[in-house]
Structure 1
Amino acid sequence: MTAPQPTSPGRRRAALALAAALVLGGVPGGLDAADAAIWPVVDPTPPATTPPGTTPVPTDGSAELDDTVALPLPPSEDEVRQAVNLDVTRIVDKGGLGPAASVRIVDVESGRSIYSSRSGTPRIAASTTKLFTATAALASLGLETRFPTVIERKGRARTVTLVSGGDPRMTNAKLRLLAKQTAAALKSKQPARTKVKGKLRKVVYVRLDDSVFAGASKLGTWRKGGYGLGTIQPVRGTARTTVRSSDSAASAARYFAKRLDSSLGRGWVVEYRGAKAAPAKARVVARVDSDTVHTLVKRMLLVSDNQVAEVLSRHVARSEGYRPTFAGGVKGTRKVMRRLGVDLGTSVLADGSGLSAANKISPAAVVNLLSVAAQPDRSELRALLYEDWSLPLAGRTGTLAYRFTGKSECARGAVVAKTGSLDWEIALSGYTVGEDGRLKAFSIVANRLWTSKARDKARAAADRIAATVNGCV
């Protein structure tokens, strides 16, 4: 990554101080090494040759700074707060965020407000909602938890049951592996032969038990049905990654049956017989696991995966003692927020993905969540929310890969944030390190953007605000 290009003397002085701190093996005041992850990388490798007339500087820490060269100190927290407040006020006053916008910026370590404009007003926050789902999943489920999909069979019965475990990323490779494991189990304990079209065959029936989740599979408040736009499938206990279907679990079971038939070979017949609960005392004969919660959350945040978000929300519901429904996911998430000390204020959660226009979340609640997640005693949250590149990196990865252009380009590689976008709404919420070397959290939400031009203008304004908080503009 390349360092931001400062445009004012104050910016240049802070950048110089930061570069010196990093080259000498230190980290700006108030941060640990992990916090420095969202600073552009400073390459400590010395050049292969030393330019004439210069003296090489040791890189083993033995060098002493020449006391005749005064390295400027970074500005104080108060100086940064005043400067950012003034600059952000100018951006907001220009109207780029539209007629219904809210902004909140805080210093994470001190908790002091840097800027606030209608920040307690709940607004349609779109995929910013996923920050709450991610936090609830990490805190309630644990980073290394996986969700198994199993095949169950009772004795030598000819029926095998695919039991959904809530895997939101069921690949064809996993289903083929299930089929191979099941074929081996069937061959070791073969069912009785039966006549099929006048010939004796070993017949196997495949059933589906998709009872892991309950309630409706789609939400009435999703804009245009949500999955009609290709953004999400109806929420089932198994979601295929390669095929979109109104019933992804049944689609997975049919594909499994087809692959099982191929794995068993001649003399066997496999039929899919639809949904039915696995029989009592049935035993597991095959199993595949989902990715870890760590990996699923990372994908959900980086590319804004709605399917993963809704499935994780239902797992949170189960973990917190609620029915695995849309409402149960919301209840579970709110319960985890209370346990973590996150103040939602008057915010309303309606789903796990943010597709619903009924989600009304205030920037104050989002920033409170980000601040709690960044605390040293919340390692399971810190690990994914900004230390492990799960949040999109400005101008580099995920949904921010093509953002931060023009005046905001200097913040590429120095801001991590979750984006949000619906028909008439945009949002940007995340972290950056300010000129004072301290971690900042921000949330920007803009509604009632009736044209694509208005939405593009609001996104550019949000990027500019984040770059201003970083201090590179």
Structure 2
Amino acid sequence: MGTLALLQVFVCAAGAHLLSGGLDRPAPVPPAATAAPAPVQVAVATAGPVLAPGGGGPVPGKGSLAGRLGRAMKDPALGGDVGGVVVDAASGEVLFGARADAAITPASTTKVATAVAALTSLGPDAKLATRVVLAKSGMIVLVGGGDPTLAGPKARADGYPRRASLATLAARTARALRASGVTSVRLGYDDSLFSGPRTAPGWKPGYIPEGSVAPVTALMIDEGREHPGRSARQADPSRSAAAAFASLLARDGVKVGRSPARAKAPAGAREIARVASPPVYELVEHMLTESDNDLAEALAHQIAIKEGRPAGFTGGARATEAVLRDLGVGRGVSLNDGSGLSTRNRISPMALARMVALAASPGRPRLRAAISGLPVAGFTGTLGGRYDKDPTKPAAGVVRAKTGTLNGVNTLTGLARTADGRVVSFAFMADDVQDPQGAVRALDRLAALVATCGCP
């Protein structure tokens, strides 16, 4: 198999989005009013589809894997608290384990747990709505639905997933108001869908406003950023979103008197406009590929609502754990947030590998976005700049995995297709790391050893 074949194509089963070598994201879906271009025929050198559960090859020998991985896990760069496991994706058989049940800080591999729980609880096709309702004479209320991807007035319209737009919501609102002869309103905003603290237990003070995550609210634009892209976060994302909405209404011919103020939307208030997020499966794919903290926290809060718990960090954590337990993959999972920024989270390598194997199962099609969203080694997302040096090159294109990084923590979990064509799930975790760059290289080498195993 040629590992320098730079065009590896993977068909994402959940969303049918094409990922080709060198692209960080799937191509944006054309608008409904625009005819899709004719497909381009590309000569492809494949290493076998990573998403084919089980594959057709033989199961790797346990002794051979133990010999390969046991030595590599002793790399000093991984520090003194390391665990790892390899599981046959089709049968669930444990092929290798070293401290596989240890409680280890997962960092962003927590997002795998959030993804599996969100797809199970909310469903892959659910959408998050941002609405405007009539509160009383002369007042409308902007009601947050917990969609952090809502695009503000400065955001670009392209990209994947195709986000809902605050400008579209303002235009629809203005059109409805003008149709009723209304050209001046007072504006309130309601972000009460989420409750409790806006930061999670175990978050470091520096996460906000430097840009790791925004204060979690049910109403925000551009993930709470001051400017779209990677920038500092707003101290009050809800208020900032409402102010932007007021400006857009004025541009569309509706005057807003006074500054927007928090207000509870009355029960049964008449809705006059709404926009909806991309479906959950697309949100999950984006969350995993880009390791999107804001989206992970929003989804965890939504899981809490769906499962009948308080819509905060604690409710989200307990709801996620409960959903995973019902799926049979919750043992060894203790959460405090949905993104993995919390230093208090603990997940075992075995739990992560079981989640990945479950999501890859042909009997669980609703979970497939938890696989199609995983970065492809050497090509996409947080793995796009990795697997380009020996001895990790052979894993480029044949490993899909979620990374995790905090101070002192480096983790990796996902799927690999072995040299014999067998699909296995794995998790390698270290949370006593003194050499982060060395730890990343060591984790990538472990995944490469799994992928290149033609191990009888």
TM-score by length of 1: 0.78
Counterpart check, 1:109 vs 2:109? no
Residue 403 of structure 1 aligns with which residue?
A: 386
Distance 1:253 1:231 in 2: 23
CA deviation profile, 1:79-138 (whole Å, cap 9, x unmatched): 4x3322211112123433221111111212232222211111101110010000000000
Identity %: 35
**Contact between 2:100 and 2:348, CA under 8 Å: does it hold in 1?**
yes
Counterpart check, 1:312 vs 2:306? no
**Contact between 2:246 and 2:260, CA under 8 Å: does it hold in 1?**
no
Counterpart check, 1:355 vs 2:341? yes
Residue 50 of structure 1 aligns with which residue?
A: none
Post-superposition shift, 1:269?
4.8
CA deviation profile, 1:303-334 (whole Å, cap 9, x unmatched): 10000000000000000110101011011111
Residue 146 of structure 2 aligns with which residue?
A: 166
**Contact between 1:392 and 1:399, CA under 8 Å: does it hold in 2?**
yes
Counterpart check, 1:259 vs 2:242? no
**Partner SS, residue 394 of structure 2:** helix
Distance 1:280 1:76 in 2: 59
Post-superposition shift, 1:75?
7.6
AA at the equivalent of 1:425: V
Post-superposition shift, 1:352?
0.3
Distance 1:301 1:284 in 2: 33
Distance 2:443 2:20 in 1: 19
Post-superposition shift, 1:280?
4.4
Post-superposition shift, 1:434?
1.3
AA at the equivalent of 2:324: M
AA at the equivalent of 2:323: V
**Partner SS, residue 416 of structure 1:** strand
Residue 66 of structure 2 aligns with which residue?
A: 85
Post-superposition shift, 1:44?
9.8
AA at the equivalent of 1:206: L
**Partner SS, residue 235 of structure 2:** coil
Post-superposition shift, 1:206?
0.6
**Contact between 1:38 and 1:416, CA under 8 Å: does it hold in 2?**
no
Post-superposition shift, 1:441?
0.7
AA at the equivalent of 1:402: G
**Partner SS, residue 224 of structure 1:** coil
Residue 321 of structure 1 aligns with which residue?
A: 308
In the superposition, relative to structure 1, how do residues 5 and 89 fare at CA in structure 2: closer, same or farther (>3 Å)?
farther
Matches within 5 A, 1:21-420: 76-79=58-61, 81-154=62-135, 157-172=137-152, 174-191=165-182, 203-241=184-222, 242-243=225-226, 244-264=233-253, 268-345=255-332, 347-381=333-367, 383-386=368-371, 388=372, 390-404=373-387, 405-420=389-404
Counterpart check, 1:3 vs 2:16? no
**Contact between 1:261 and 1:270, CA under 8 Å: does it hold in 2?**
no
Distance 2:447 2:72 in 1: 11
Of 418, 425, 441, the match for 1:460: 441
In the superposition, relative to structure 1, how do residues 432 and 161 fare at CA in structure 2: closer, same or farther (>3 Å)?
same
Residue 421 of structure 1 aligns with which residue?
A: 405
Post-superposition shift, 1:150?
0.6
**Partner SS, residue 120 of structure 1:** coil
Distance 2:421 2:76 in 1: 29
More helix by share: 1
Residue 23 of structure 1 aligns with which residue?
A: none
In the superposition, relative to structure 1, how do residues 39 and 252 fare at CA in structure 2: closer, same or farther (>3 Å)?
closer
**Contact between 2:201 and 2:336, CA under 8 Å: does it hold in 1?**
no
TM-score by length of 2: 0.81
Post-superposition shift, 1:154?
4.5
Question: How many pairs align?
Answer: 395
Residue 430 of structure 1 aligns with which residue?
A: 414
Distance 2:289 2:451 in 1: 21
Distance 1:400 1:154 in 2: 48
**Superposition RMSD on alpha carbons, in Å?**
2.7
AA at the equivalent of 1:166: G
**Contact between 1:108 and 1:371, CA under 8 Å: does it hold in 2?**
yes
AA at the equivalent of 2:359: A
In the superposition, relative to structure 1, how do residues 269 and 110 fare at CA in structure 2: closer, same or farther (>3 Å)?
closer
Larger Rg: 1
Distance 1:137 1:358 in 2: 21
In the superposition, relative to structure 1, how do residues 365 and 281 fare at CA in structure 2: closer, same or farther (>3 Å)?
closer
**Contact between 1:38 and 1:432, CA under 8 Å: does it hold in 2?**
no
Where structure 1 has 5 or more consecutive residues not aligned to the other structure, the ranges are 7-31, 48-73, 192-201
